[in-house]
Amino acid sequence: DAGVIQSPRHEVTEMGQEVTLRCKPISGHNSLFWYRQTMMRGLELLIYFNNNVPIDDSGMPEDRFSAKMPNASFSTLKIQPSEPRDSAVYFCASSPWGSYNEQFFGPGTRLTVL
Amino acid sequence: AQTVTQSQPEMSVQEAETVTLSCTYDTSESDYYLFWYKQPPSRQMILVIRQEAYKQQNATENRFSVNFQKAAKSFSLKISDSQLGDAAMYFCAYHNNAGNMLTFGGGTRLMVKP
Q: How far away is chain A from the Cα of B7, in angstroms, using its nearest Cα?
A: 14
**pLDDT in the model for residue B93:** 94
Residue of A59, A91, A98, A29 lying closest to B99 (CA atoms): A98
The H or E element that residue B24 is part of is: strand B24-26
Do A106 and A91 form a contact (C-beta atoms < 8 A)? yes
For B41, nearest residue in chain A (alpha carbons): A107
Q: Do A99 and B95 touch (CB under 8 A)?
A: yes
Written as one string, the DSSP assignment of A81-95 is: S--GGG-EEEEEEEE
> Would you say residue A1 has pLDDT above 70?
no
3-class secondary structure per residue, B44-61: CCEEEEEEECCCCCCCEE
Write the residue in B33, B52, B104 that is nearest to A43 by C-beta: B104
Looking at the complex, report in whole angstroms how far the Cα of residue B80 sits from the nearest Cα belonging to chain A.
23
Q: What is the pLDDT of residues A31-75, one digit of tens each?
A: 999 999 998 888 999 999 999 999 989 889 889 999 999 999 999
pLDDT score for A101: 76
Chain B, window 46-105: residues with a beta carbon less than 8 angstroms from a chain A beta carbon? 46-47, 50, 52, 91, 95-105
| Phi, psi dihedral angles at B85 (to 5 degrees) | -70, -10
Pairing label, strands A88-95, B88-96: unpaired
Identify which of B6, B17, B34, B7 has the alpha carbon closest to the alpha carbon of residue B111. Answer: B17
Q: Does B100 sit within 8 Å of A95, measured CB to CB?
A: yes
Residues B54-104 pLDDT 10s: 888 999 999 999 999 999 999 999 999 999 999 999 999 998 877 678 899
CB atoms within 10 A of CB A15: 12
A90 — phi, psi (to 5°)? -110, 125
CA-wise closest residue to A6 among A43, A45, A33: A33
Q: Are B36 and B93 in contact (CB under 8 A)?
A: yes
Eight-state DSSP code of residue A7: E
Taking the C-alpha atoms of residue B83 and residue B110, their distance in angstroms, rounded to an integer, is 11
Q: Please give the mean pLDDT across all residues of chain A.
A: 93
Q: How far apart are CA A23 and CA A4, in angstroms?
A: 7
State the Cα–Cα distance between residues A78 and A90, nearest whole angstrom: 11
Cα-to-chain-centroid distance, residue B13: 16
The reply to whether residue B102 touches residue A45, judged by beta carbons under 8 angstroms, is yes
pLDDT at A104 over 80: yes
